[in-house]
Structure 1
Amino acid sequence: MKNTIAERIADFLKKFPPFNLLEKDDLKAISENVKVHYLDKGRHCFTENDERHDQFYFVKDGAVGLYKNDGDEESLVDICDEGDIFGLRPLITQENYQMSALANEESVLYGIPIQNFTAIAENEKKISNYLIASFASNTRNPVELEKGGKLFTEYKVERNPDLFELQTATYISNPICCSPETPVKDAALKMRNQKIGSIIVVNDQQVPLGVITNSDIRNKIATGDFSINTQASFIMSSPVITQPSGITIAQAQMIMVRHNIRHICITEDGTANTKLIGMLSEHDIMLSKANNPSVLIKGIKRAKSIKTLREIRLKIGVLLKAYIDQNIPLSHVLKIVSELNSLILDRAIELSVAEMPTSPPVKFAWIALGSQGRKEQLLPTDQDNALVFQNVADSNYEETKSYFLELAGIITKHLHTIGFEYCKADMMGSNPKWCNSLSIWKEQFSNWIAKPSQETILLSSIFFDFDLVYGDAQLVDELSKSIFKSLEKGDLFYSLMGRDALKSPSPLGFFRQFLVEHDGKNKDTFDIKSRAMMPLIDAARLLTLSQHVKNINNTALRFENLAVLEPQNAELYKSCAYAFKALLKFRTKQGILNNDSGRYIQLGKLSKEDRLKLKRCFKPIKDIQELLKVRFQLTHFL
């Protein structure tokens, strides 16, 4: 007799990813085990810190909000509606729920049992990739991009097998073993001496019979349930899960989730009846995926040399390529890459300080400027940085400054070695102009604001986007307070900054053709940075400074914050934020394709669809510049 309910579920699921990637019989098998949940409005599916369920959820009807606890109240993170999945990540990471799921309206959910799903998915490349991408991006649907579909058609970016693909997992050959008769005490001593967390129990033919882990000893021996002299066979976890040597990372992850295990035995033919040749653990998978952000972070913190940091910086580039290739949302990519870059800078400065003959004489702060200060640096570009040190007596000033100039020289040299090119305009902390005490910096910014000129406006466009990288945060806070105090009387400064923000008009000509470079080595190319991105960057900076918005330098976040402050212009600001992220992603893709900064675009190589989508990003530029003209009365400057 047909299961009509299961058939209806299957018919509905097959319209949406990742279920549309399943074979008909596999989808039917999953549908037969789906649980249907009805949630009244205001009812929770789960709450933050709840233990994970044995299923993830698919929204059939209605809408479910995902909320994160923020102090005394919950803030809305996302809304899942028809076709969306949620609650998957905790099942992959084996952790409690990190958010709450609350029905925003009467909803019908399908509960998809994780074991049934992974049992089918673990051998399907597309499904495995989907789950891993979902895990990596922390999104409910990695097919989506910023809730707006794909911004540009997908390019054939070369995939790196180390990331998100089904590369062969690296396992430990010749693992530590013991016999079934070995006393647990002896097995534990072996584990301690070898500094490992598990041991394989094998018979005389070296066939794996079971696994003993630290948790087995803790839960069975330390509790008194078994004696320390008990034979290994009595406390081992058995039977073992076995696989052949060609197992991939994706398959291993799915198997571990399905069976709730952390170790897989590798045998000659992949069955439990042949000789053990290796063991694969969760830890090994993390190491195999050496470009996993958490692994990279650990590598950065442990780095003992600049050479190691350079190698990690190259891996970040590989990670970026993989994220872009997998269509991971740009906001997520920016957070990860920016954090990794900041950690590399932080560690490079620590190593540089250690090279100095003496410790710093006073507190100091190393600040990033420009795109790095805005946390918009995805592709490696040149350095823009500065150094501010604590005020000292006049008699000690030159000696103190000489110390920090020497330190800054080491830092910029090391950053160059890591992959951050020297700034052609020498806007670096190693330049005496940009290595000063707090009082000098305050005075400098105050003069720029009080007596603006074309030169100081240019400097402001770089130095006003600063972010602490290393050192004393209080110095940077005091500098920020001083800047905003000076801005209280900065009407002329705002006007000149506004004029500067209008220097790049709409990137399209009268007949809606792209305005390209007319001469030089980049002739006939489109400069996406100066013609499309900078107008948005400049406008966001000017508007947030005039609103005295502190501690937000990122262009997209600036516009999103302005949308909250000015509801009447919210639609415009949101469109500017979206356009900027689209342009940044497009530039990043171009840079990856052409192995350069992605700044100059060869329009002839773009598809018609991409040219049209690129043009659509230009409309907010014209609109935001019209707003600037009115707000800062700039018509008399034009």
Structure 2
Amino acid sequence: MKNTIAERIADFLKNFPPFDQLSKEDLYAIAQVVTITYLERDNLVYAVGETLHDKFYIIHKGAIALTKDINAKVETIDRFDEGDVFGLRPLFAKENYATNAVTEEESILYGIPLVTFKPLITRNKAVVDFLIESFASNTENPFSKEIHGSLYEHRLEVLANDKELFELQPVRYIKKVITAKANTKIKDIALLMQKHHIGSILIEADMIPVGIVTDVDLRNKVITGAYPIDTEVQHIMSAPVLCYPKGVSISQAQLTMMKHNISHLCITADGTPNSKIIGVISQNDINVMRGSNPTVLMKAIKRSQSTKQLKHIRKKIMVLLKGFVQQNIPLTQTSKIIFELNDATIKRIIERCIVKMGQQPPVKFAWMSMGSQGRKEQLLQTDQDNAIVFENVDAEELEDVRAYFLLLSKKVNKRLNEVGFDFCPADIMAKNPKWCLSLDEWKLQFNHWTSNTGDDEILLSSIFFDFDITYGDANLTSQLSDHIFDITKNNHMFLSKLAASALRSASPLGFFRRFLVEKDGEYKDFFDIKKRAITPIVDAGRLFALSNQIKNINNTAERFEKMAEIFPANEELYLSCSYASKALLKFRTKHGLLHNDNGRFIEIAALSKEEKMKLKRCFNTIAQIQESIKLKYNLSNFK
């Protein structure tokens, strides 16, 4: 007889990560050993230094705060509510508790024994991914070696090579499968293929695959006269059907097809011929996916002869990005690949526009991509931010030289817009005479921004100080970069103002159980992830890079990783910032792809419990790095 209490517990658990990734059997096994604890408000679940319990907790009802004594003051460092898991990380790290867990209201907790739960993660990648992201976003000890090693022990290492990354991707299979019964006439099978424009039909019994017939079978066995068209299809079908579960990689599918000299595979619920059909893969599907291989796309960009071709390639880049995100390819690798493809697209447009000018550039120049593209963080098709720096010339030549580059920039900006990079609403583009300057003019401009610093100058500095050369003479951009570091070195007034600017978008961490959303306008009740979360972490990374003279690193995550290397005492915080910057960018990218927009505004009601949890942990990191900025730059009174 089933335990009804355990059933109710299992029904509750299945609604929350990571338990939503477990089978009914595993959930019930856990539910049978769960302990139930009722605590009134302000009761301790565990205390700092306390010996580890043999279980972790999920909140059935109520709320829990994690607190810590910092400078003789009790501070709340995290909060949890219904469906949240806490107390699991210390069990993996095998450390005594580093925080107090205190009830903020009457609470009912389910205690889950680690001895029951731990074996499940070795056979469930989704649970592993959840735990890795959860632990990595916890700033107390985000990269514990014990945790990292124990979780990654059974994971496939993602390879860096483009070709290998492509082969690692799962095949996108056809979900709307056309099927027939074994006693269907061959003629009717052919008519089905013709009607649906397909090359195969799965033969099933109660949606269990019993065979497959392809257009090759029709050619070899019917058109040749071996079988008449009124024969039942079971006489010409291939059986048994080779089956795989969803998620089969491209390389595995191809090897199977080559080994057995076939062109189709069946996808079933458990990967065997004994479970229901959920899809089919053809060799043609893999060939189509090859069109989104980074190496193939790069070659296509370099060979392109029209803006129309580049626009088509951009669509394939978005398909590639979607595949990387869906298959959880690390964002570091994804960003590098998408950056290179974006950069190559811009470079090809510039090359073609120079040809259309009918005249080579009068002096050396460099095309600078700024903002997210300059930081290698532009994944979705967002606004273009760019500028030109050209070689110094005599005063009498200056305007003629500028006129050439302004005309070139007008052509480039127009074609970038046609390809999919929208015009910048603030007109921060190379076709604007303000941003098409000689090297000395740029140096004077930067001198002005760092010595007469108001809000406008800080805003422009935050845009223009993150640049990367896309085309032209790298010596020009290197000189410009050296100049920026020279004029900001020990420039305490400018750095303090930059620090104050980095605090203007406060972390939404303080809004427990709700997010700070837009109050009016088109996106009323939506969460602005760029303004509220991404911008603060980007601003902090830029500030630390300038303050510590970290040259040649523009990417936010890499800036924090360098900070962790320079200042090992604060390694945990900086690595958590690196993680948060990637997690937020990935979050924005996923939602942008889902809604076919730039992903900036998020509908809170549409978020899952897991997504909200991840965001809250990123906000926790932002709050901590902002507190660090306040202390370092003596901005403790900043509001």
Classify the TM-score, shorter chain. 0.5 to 0.7
Local SS of the residue matching 1:427: coil
**Structure-2 change in CA distance of 1:91 and 1:412 (3 Å):** closer
**Structure-2 change in CA distance of 1:347 and 1:134 (3 Å):** closer
Local SS of the residue matching 1:618: helix
Asked if the contact 1:89/1:135 (under 8 Å) is kept, the reply is no
**Structure-2 change in CA distance of 1:352 and 1:162 (3 Å):** farther
Q: Give the equivalent residue in structure 1 for 2:330.
A: 329
Local SS of the residue matching 1:630: helix
Q: Give the Cα separation in 2 of the matches to 1:454 and 1:520.
A: 24
- State the Cα deviation string for residues 172-208 of structure 1 (Å, max 9, x = none): x9xxxxxxxxxxxxxxxxxxxxxxxxxxxxxxxxx9x
Q: Give the Cα separation in 2 of the matches to 1:311 and 1:360.
A: 29
Q: Give the equivalent residue in structure 2 for 1:525.
A: 526
Asked if the contact 1:362/1:389 (under 8 Å) is kept, the reply is yes
Q: Give the equivalent residue in structure 2 for 1:547.
A: 548
Task: Give the letter aligned to residue 368 of structure 1.
Answer: S
**Structure-2 change in CA distance of 1:296 and 1:358 (3 Å):** same
Task: Give the letter aligned to residue 297 of structure 2.
Answer: L
Task: Give the letter aligned to residue 378 of structure 2.
Answer: Q
Task: Give the letter aligned to residue 338 of structure 2.
Answer: V
**Structure-2 change in CA distance of 1:440 and 1:283 (3 Å):** farther
Matched, 1:391 2:461: no
Asked if the contact 2:371/2:464 (under 8 Å) is kept, the reply is yes
Q: Give the Cα separation in 2 of the matches to 1:491 and 1:381.
A: 33
Local SS of the residue matching 1:520: coil
Q: Give the Cα separation in 1 of the matches to 2:356 and 2:174.
A: 34
Q: Give the equivalent residue in structure 2 for 1:624.
A: 625
Q: Give the equivalent residue in structure 2 for 1:361.
A: 362
**Structure-2 change in CA distance of 1:512 and 1:568 (3 Å):** farther
**Structure-2 change in CA distance of 1:284 and 1:82 (3 Å):** closer
Q: Give the equivalent residue in structure 1 for 2:348.
A: 347
Q: Give the equivalent residue in structure 1 for 2:233.
A: none
Task: Give the letter aligned to residue 565 of structure 1.
Answer: I
Q: Give the Cα separation in 1 of the matches to 2:160 and 2:568.
A: 36
Task: Give the letter aligned to residue 559 of structure 2.
Answer: R
Q: Give the equivalent residue in structure 1 for 2:382.
A: 381
Residue 593 of structure 1: how far off its partner (Å): 1.4
Q: Give the equivalent residue in structure 1 for 2:314.
A: 313
Residue 597 of structure 1: how far off its partner (Å): 1.0
Task: Give the letter aligned to residue 546 of structure 1.
Answer: S
- State the Cα deviation string for residues 582-637 of structure 1 (Å, max 9, x = none): 11111111111111111111111112332222111100111101111111112355
Q: Give the equivalent residue in structure 2 for 1:430.
A: 431
Task: Give the letter aligned to residue 558 of structure 2.
Answer: L
**Structure-2 change in CA distance of 1:546 and 1:308 (3 Å):** same
Residue 81 of structure 1: how far off its partner (Å): 8.0
Residue 510 of structure 1: how far off its partner (Å): 5.0
Residue 500 of structure 1: how far off its partner (Å): 0.4
Asked if the contact 1:412/1:428 (under 8 Å) is kept, the reply is yes
Asked if the contact 2:158/2:165 (under 8 Å) is kept, the reply is no
User: In the TM superposition, what are the counterparts of 1:10-409 in structure 2 within 5 Å?
Assistant: 83-84=153-154, 135-136=167-168, 253-254=251-252, 257=255, 289-409=290-410
| Structure 2 unaligned spans of 5+ | 1-21, 24-121, 124-147, 178-198, 200-223, 225-237, 265-282
Asked if the contact 2:311/2:420 (under 8 Å) is kept, the reply is yes
Local SS of the residue matching 1:461: helix
Asked if the contact 1:286/1:295 (under 8 Å) is kept, the reply is no
Q: Give the equivalent residue in structure 1 for 2:503.
A: 502
Q: Give the Cα separation in 2 of the matches to 1:133 and 1:373.
A: 24
Asked if the contact 1:368/1:384 (under 8 Å) is kept, the reply is yes
Residue 257 of structure 1: how far off its partner (Å): 4.8
Residue 386 of structure 1: how far off its partner (Å): 0.4
Q: Give the Cα separation in 2 of the matches to 1:506 and 1:529.
A: 12
Residue 396 of structure 1: how far off its partner (Å): 0.5
Q: Give the Cα separation in 1 of the matches to 2:626 and 2:157.
A: 42
| Structure 1 unaligned spans of 5+ | 1-19, 22-58, 61-77, 94-131, 143-158, 166-172, 174-206, 208-241, 268-281
Task: Give the letter aligned to residue 587 of structure 1.
Answer: R
Q: Give the Cα separation in 2 of the matches to 1:424 and 1:522.
A: 18
- State the Cα deviation string for residues 193-228 of structure 1 (Å, max 9, x = none): xxxxxxxxxxxxxx9xxxxxxxxxxxxxxxxxxxxx
Q: How many pairs are equivalent?
A: 423
Q: Give the equivalent residue in structure 1 for 2:96.
A: none
- State the Cα deviation string for residues 433-472 of structure 1 (Å, max 9, x = none): 0000011001111121122111100000100110111111
Local SS of the residue matching 1:635: coil
Task: Give the letter aligned to residue 572 of structure 1.
Answer: L
Asked if the contact 1:352/1:410 (under 8 Å) is kept, the reply is yes
- State the Cα deviation string for residues 289-309 of structure 1 (Å, max 9, x = none): 100111101100110111111
Asked if the contact 2:168/2:250 (under 8 Å) is kept, the reply is no
Task: Give the letter aligned to residue 556 of structure 1.
Answer: A
Residue 513 of structure 1: how far off its partner (Å): 2.5
Q: Give the Cα separation in 2 of the matches to 1:444 and 1:90.
A: 40
Q: Give the Cα separation in 2 of the matches to 1:90 and 1:426.
A: 37
Q: Give the equivalent residue in structure 2 for 1:604.
A: 605
**Structure-2 change in CA distance of 1:637 and 1:603 (3 Å):** closer
Q: Give the Cα separation in 2 of the matches to 1:505 and 1:554.
A: 22
Q: Give the equivalent residue in structure 1 for 2:445.
A: 444
Residue 136 of structure 1: how far off its partner (Å): 3.9
* Higher mean C-alpha deviation, range 81-90 or range 426-435: 81-90
Q: Give the Cα separation in 2 of the matches to 1:566 and 1:440.
A: 36
Residue 373 of structure 1: how far off its partner (Å): 0.7
Local SS of the residue matching 1:617: helix
Residue 357 of structure 1: how far off its partner (Å): 2.1
Q: Give the Cα separation in 1 of the matches to 2:436 and 2:608.
A: 47
**Structure-2 change in CA distance of 1:161 and 1:356 (3 Å):** farther
**Structure-2 change in CA distance of 1:606 and 1:376 (3 Å):** same
Q: Give the Cα separation in 2 of the matches to 1:88 and 1:560.
A: 20
Q: Give the equivalent residue in structure 2 for 1:477.
A: 478
Asked if the contact 1:387/1:429 (under 8 Å) is kept, the reply is yes
Q: Give the Cα separation in 1 of the matches to 2:481 and 2:379.
A: 26
Q: Give the Cα separation in 2 of the matches to 1:162 and 1:356.
A: 47
Asked if the contact 1:162/1:290 (under 8 Å) is kept, the reply is no
Q: Give the Cα separation in 2 of the matches to 1:367 and 1:619.
A: 34
Asked if the contact 2:367/2:471 (under 8 Å) is kept, the reply is yes
**Structure-2 change in CA distance of 1:365 and 1:619 (3 Å):** same
Asked if the contact 2:167/2:249 (under 8 Å) is kept, the reply is no
Q: Give the equivalent residue in structure 2 for 1:556.
A: 557
Q: Give the Cα separation in 2 of the matches to 1:575 and 1:376.
A: 18
Asked if the contact 2:167/2:250 (under 8 Å) is kept, the reply is no
Local SS of the residue matching 1:523: coil
Residue 247 of structure 1: how far off its partner (Å): 13
Asked if the contact 1:572/1:620 (under 8 Å) is kept, the reply is yes
Asked if the contact 2:443/2:483 (under 8 Å) is kept, the reply is yes
Task: Give the letter aligned to residue 519 of structure 1.
Answer: D
**Structure-2 change in CA distance of 1:612 and 1:443 (3 Å):** same
Q: Give the equivalent residue in structure 2 for 1:151.
A: none
Q: Give the equivalent residue in structure 2 for 1:457.
A: 458
Asked if the contact 1:365/1:388 (under 8 Å) is kept, the reply is yes
Asked if the contact 1:498/1:632 (under 8 Å) is kept, the reply is yes
Q: Give the equivalent residue in structure 2 for 1:216.
A: none
**Structure-2 change in CA distance of 1:530 and 1:572 (3 Å):** same
Q: Give the Cα separation in 1 of the matches to 2:633 and 2:162.
A: 52
Residue 91 of structure 1: how far off its partner (Å): 13
